[in-house]
Amino acid sequence: MILRLFSRSRKARALDDTFDPMKKFLIAGLGNIGTEYANTRHNIGFKILDELAQQKDITFESARLGDISNFKIKGRSVLLLKPSTYMNRSGKAVQYWLEKEKIPISNLLVVTDDLNLYFGTLRLKLRGSDGGHNGLKDIQETVGSQLYARFRFGIGSEFSKGKQVDYVLGEWTAEENEKLPERLQRSSALIESFVLAGPQITMNTFNGT
């Protein structure tokens, strides 16, 4: 009886094309909730996912530990997540949705800002340290691994000594705002490439551009 039930369960799951973990991806854009943070450099993860959602004509809905949206592309299911836990507790939301949707960590992509890259520079990495980023640090500690992809968007480091926090939580300059639309479109293309073409091709195509 146990074997029969197990067999039936597997058959039922096989009929659900969303169950295949190799075809499901979690894209987590990091940021802080609240209108006061909406146009700040630290919220570029949210902004990139908003751009991608607009391109796909989908909307975000409030759910547990964040706002979520999803779309399908060429047989792959993509879940977009904007954690509502604030930046320093991003790991809780990421872990919850990985487990709930049965998505392997190899299919996780975290989108975040990076002070060490010039404004608008894109860089995909498959592993590594948190680089001093509190959101990445919390994800690493919560999921217990550095082996997940992260997409870093350069915000530059044009700040004086002791002003890093003000810079990161500051709004984009007029010049940056003028260039952002093209950079956001390029960022959305990077995410689609990660899902469809895989990380290696994506890194070769987009890194440093």
Tell me the torsion sign for CA atoms 72, 92, 130, 68: positive
* Per-residue model confidence as pLDDT tens digits over 118-177: 999 999 999 877 667 788 899 999 989 888 999 999 999 888 888 889 999 999 999 999
CATH number of the domain residue 200 falls in = 3.40.50.1470
Strand ordering across the sheet containing 149-154: 61-63, 66-73, 76-83, 24-29, 108-114, 149-154, 122-125
Q: At 157, list the tokens.
A: 């480091």
Q: Provide the number of structural domains found in the chain.
A: 1
- CB neighbourhood size of 99 (10 A): 10
Q: Tell me phi and psi for residue 37, to 5 degrees.
A: -105, -5
The letter for the amino acid at 63 is A
The letter for the amino acid at 17 is D
142 vs 2: which has the higher pLDDT? 142
Identify the band that residue 29 occupies on the pLDDT scale cut at 50, 70 and 90.
very high
- Report the distance separating Cα 79 and Cα 24, nearest Å: 8
**Is residue 49 one of the residues assigned to a domain?**
yes
**Which pLDDT belongs to residue 1?**
41
**Between the CA of residue 112 and those of 2, 23, 43, 94, 150, what are the distances in Å?**
46, 23, 8, 13, 7
**Which pLDDT belongs to residue 72?**
95
**Is residue 146 one of the residues assigned to a domain?**
yes
- Report the distance separating Cα 58 and Cα 166, nearest Å: 33
**Is residue 9 one of the residues assigned to a domain?**
no
The answer to whether residue 133 is catalytic is no
**Is residue 6 one of the residues assigned to a domain?**
no
**Is residue 7 one of the residues assigned to a domain?**
no
Q: At 47, list the tokens.
A: 């902004």
**Is residue 8 one of the residues assigned to a domain?**
no
- Report the distance separating Cα 165 and Cα 156, nearest Å: 13
**Is residue 11 one of the residues assigned to a domain?**
no
The catalytically annotated residue of 24, 25, 41, 42 is: 42
**Which pLDDT belongs to residue 22?**
63
Q: Is 24 exposed, middle or buried (0-12, 13-18, 19+ CB in 10 A)?
A: buried
Range of the domain at 123: 19-206
Q: At 71, list the tokens.
A: 């779309």
55 vs 147: which has the higher pLDDT? 55
- Does the pLDDT at position 90 exceed 70? yes
**Is residue 138 one of the residues assigned to a domain?**
yes
